[in-house]
């Protein structure tokens, strides 16, 4: 079906030769008027779009220090040129972070700097022409806002900020991206990205309860809209039925059950994802986040916990307080918000969970650091906690774990290729090619260390990998949720799993089960 070639994985990741224009054709579908207008943007390209675009650029420059400083500071040193996964996967020079920024910077210079006004040819300043706008639409939708370039820039210039600004300007002149804007509209209307109404959600959760009961023999609840619950769980709506996301949700439910926690999901705010970040609209981002603030207050919860979602964790951790805070009605004894991995890790450290690592023995795991978690947040109240805590959880529930190469994990992690509002079928070629650096690193540990599965804590990463892995000859279910692993290993009191484990003392037939018992003992201390 693909009318493009999947990049070939080699022994090492090579920097491609420049192929100018090779991804010029890659453009997501343009938002229909109805999707634009639902967010208060003009339905189609406005008449005086050049003027409007420059006006909007001026407003952003006056209200966003990062944008202004980043546009002025680049010296074109080239440090970022080989850092973007989309460049590494496509060789299109406009996918080099600095070249992508320059599509914006040249217009900035022409309209807002002395040098650009008087000697444009000298400093690469240009007017916003139709051709440039075309480039903007194409290449600012080939940036997943993963911030890898920002780590390596000597001034910390973050292309994500510039691509957000460019998308915001395009929205303001009437050419938004269908995928993101349609989804944001659904969220405003129904409360989640999938457009899943309350009855369907209730039904789904009940179904999951039945699945868990079949598996464990235990009545584990997935409560919905429980007034006065202590914890509000906000999780990406993909967790409600996409694979492997849903196995993660089952994992959270089992952890809450094991901890005896009082928790609930909200049907009003049944979405952790906040796609408004992708389109760079603070107003939209605030409106989306406001639902969660409202739900938390209305339900009277004491704390909010976020499920496995990368950019949602960024928005929640870094932006919520600014956008919709203060959350002064929550219990200040808990961090606001808390990540589900922090919650589970705490319970593991307090030895409150019984875990049978052997349950995951058929897998050898590696962990994909999701970009927004890795480069824009932390966990556990310490720098680097965002790397340690998910790994600590995995290692507590699995015997076999092997990290990918150092220059592809932690803050150097490669984006899955589908972040930043690009997880849409109209961008399949880009997504497949952009996944190349991650696939390369994964393939290396598959071959050298027998890794069979990669775990992640981001709904977008999970969906993206299950789609693109087959292109690279990997099974689509080789991507798993971290809490899916927890779910496999957790031994609930009174469950079938507990019976099986504790019964082995009598049968006592293999060394394997003894080893498994040792693991349980180790965790139980």
SS3 sequence, 374-442?
A: HHHCCECCECCHHHHHHHHHHHHHCCCECCCCHHHCHHHCCCCCCCCCCCCHHHHHHHHHHCHHHHHHH
Nearest distance from C-beta of residue 205 to other proteins, angstroms = 30
DSSP codes joined into one string, 72-132? HH-----TTTTT-HHHHHH--GGGSHHHHHHHHHHHHHHHH-HHHHH-HHHHT-----HHH
Does residue 58 touch other proteins according to CB under 8 A? no
CA distance 57 to 498: 61
Sequence-distant (≥ 6) Cβ neighbours of residue 495 within 8 angstroms: 216, 217, 218
Please, are residues 180 and 280 in contact by the beta-carbon 8 Å criterion? no
Please pick, from the candidates 6, 26, 81, 274, the single residue that binds other proteins as defined by CB under 8 A.
Answer: 81
Does residue 159 touch other proteins according to CB under 8 A? no
Q: Which residues share a beta bridge with 306?
A: 234, 339
Stretch that binds other proteins, among 109-117, 227-235, 450-458, 483-491 (CB under 8 A): 109-117
Of the candidates 240, 222, 248, 297, which has an alpha carbon nearest to the alpha carbon of residue 457? 248
Please pick, from the candidates 22, 64, 452, 513, the single residue that binds other proteins as defined by CB under 8 A.
Answer: 64
Q: Which of residues 161-180 bind other proteins (CB under 8 A)?
A: 161
Nearest distance from C-beta of residue 354 to other proteins, angstroms = 30
The rounded radius of gyration (Å) of the Cα atoms in the chain is 24
CA distance 473 to 463: 17
Rank residues 86 and 319 by Cβ distance to other proteins and give the closer one.
319
Rank residues 320 and 471 by Cβ distance to other proteins and give the closer one.
320
Please pick, from the candidates 41, 49, 317, 471, the single residue that binds other proteins as defined by CB under 8 A.
Answer: 317
Stretch that binds other proteins, among 73-81, 302-310, 447-455, 490-498 (CB under 8 A): 73-81
Rank residues 29 and 112 by Cβ distance to other proteins and give the closer one.
112
Stretch that binds other proteins, among 268-276, 372-380, 451-459, 473-481 (CB under 8 A): 372-380
Nearest distance from C-beta of residue 515 to other proteins, angstroms = 37
CA distance 208 to 109: 55
Q: Using omega within 30 degrees of 0 as the cis cutoff, is the peptide bond preceding 318 cis?
A: no
Q: Which of residues 410-429 bind other proteins (CB under 8 A)?
A: 410-411
Please pick, from the candidates 21, 154, 473, 503, the single residue that binds other proteins as defined by CB under 8 A.
Answer: 154
Please pick, from the candidates 4, 29, 155, 268, the single residue that binds other proteins as defined by CB under 8 A.
Answer: 155
Does residue 408 touch other proteins according to CB under 8 A? no
Please, are residues 55 and 127 in contact by the beta-carbon 8 Å criterion? no
Stretch that binds other proteins, among 131-139, 268-276, 375-383, 486-494 (CB under 8 A): 375-383
Q: Which of residues 16-35 bind other proteins (CB under 8 A)?
A: 17-18
Evaluate the CA torsion angle 393, 397, 399, 402 in order and state its sign: negative
Please pick, from the candidates 115, 476, 514, 522, the single residue that binds other proteins as defined by CB under 8 A.
Answer: 115
Please pick, from the candidates 56, 286, 302, 352, the single residue that binds other proteins as defined by CB under 8 A.
Answer: 286
């Amino acid at each position: 079906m693909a009318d493009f070639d999947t990049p070939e994985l080699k022994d090492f990741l090579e920097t491609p030769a420049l192929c100018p224009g090779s991804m010029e054709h890659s453009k997501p579908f343009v938002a229909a008027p109805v999707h634009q207008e639902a967010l208060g943007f003009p339905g189609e390209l406005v008449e005086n779009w050049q003027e409007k675009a420059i006006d909007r650029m001026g407003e952003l420059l006056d209200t966003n220090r990062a944008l202004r400083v980043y546009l002025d500071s680049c010296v074109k040193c080239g440090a970022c040129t080989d850092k973007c996964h989309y460049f590494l996967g496509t060789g299109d020079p406009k996918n080099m972070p600095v070249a992508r920024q320059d599509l914006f910077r040249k217009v900035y210079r022409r309209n807002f700097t002395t040098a650009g006004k008087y000697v444009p040819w000298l400093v690469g300043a240009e007017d916003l022409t139709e051709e440039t706008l075309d480039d903007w639409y194409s290449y600012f939708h080939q940036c997943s806002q993963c911030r890898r370039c920002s780590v390596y820039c000597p001034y910390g210039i973050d292309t994500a900020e510039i691509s957000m600004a460019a998308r915001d300007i395009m929205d303001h002149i009437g050419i938004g991206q269908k995928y993101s804007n349609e989804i944001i509209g659904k969220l405003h209307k129904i409360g989640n990205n999938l457009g899943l109404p309350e009855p369907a959600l209730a039904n789904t959760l009940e179904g999951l309860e039945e699945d868990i009961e079949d598996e464990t023999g235990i009545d584990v609840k997935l409560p919905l809209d429980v007034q006065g619950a202590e914890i509000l769980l906000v999780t990406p709506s993909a967790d409600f039925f996409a694979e492997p996301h849903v196995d993660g949700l089952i994992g959270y439910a089992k952890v809450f059950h094991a901890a005896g926690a009082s928790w609930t999901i909200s049907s009003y705010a049944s979405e952790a994802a906040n796609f408004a970040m992708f389109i760079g609209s603070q107003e939209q981002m605030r409106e989306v986040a406001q639902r969660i603030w409202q739900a938390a207050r209305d339900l009277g919860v004491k704390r909010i916990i976020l499920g496995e979602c990368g950019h949602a964790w960024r928005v929640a951790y870094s932006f919520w307080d600014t956008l919709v805070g203060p959350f002064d009605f929550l219990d200040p004894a808990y961090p606001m918000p808390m990540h589900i991995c922090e919650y589970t890790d705490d319970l593991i450290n307090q030895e409150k969970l019984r875990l049978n690592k052997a349950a995951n023995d058929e897998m050898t795991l590696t962990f994909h650091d999701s970009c927004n978690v890795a480069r824009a947040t932390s966990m556990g109240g310490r720098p680097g906690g965002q790397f340690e805590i998910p790994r600590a959880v995995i290692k507590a529930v699995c015997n076999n774990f092997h990290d990918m190469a150092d220059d592809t994990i932690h803050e150097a992690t490669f984006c899955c290729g589908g972040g930043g509002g690009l997880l849409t079928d109209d961008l399949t070629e880009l997504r497949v090619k952009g996944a190349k650096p991650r696939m390369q690193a994964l393939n290396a540990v598959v071959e050298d260390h027998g890794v069979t599965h990669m775990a992640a804590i981001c709904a977008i990463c999970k969906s993206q990998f299950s789609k693109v892995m087959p292109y690279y000859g990997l099974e689509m279910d080789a991507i798993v949720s971290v809490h899916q692993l927890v779910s496999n290993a957790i031994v609930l009191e009174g469950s079938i799993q507990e019976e099986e484990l504790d019964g082995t003392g009598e049968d006592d037939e293999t060394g394997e089960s003894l080893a498994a018992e040792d693991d349980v003992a180790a965790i139980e201390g």
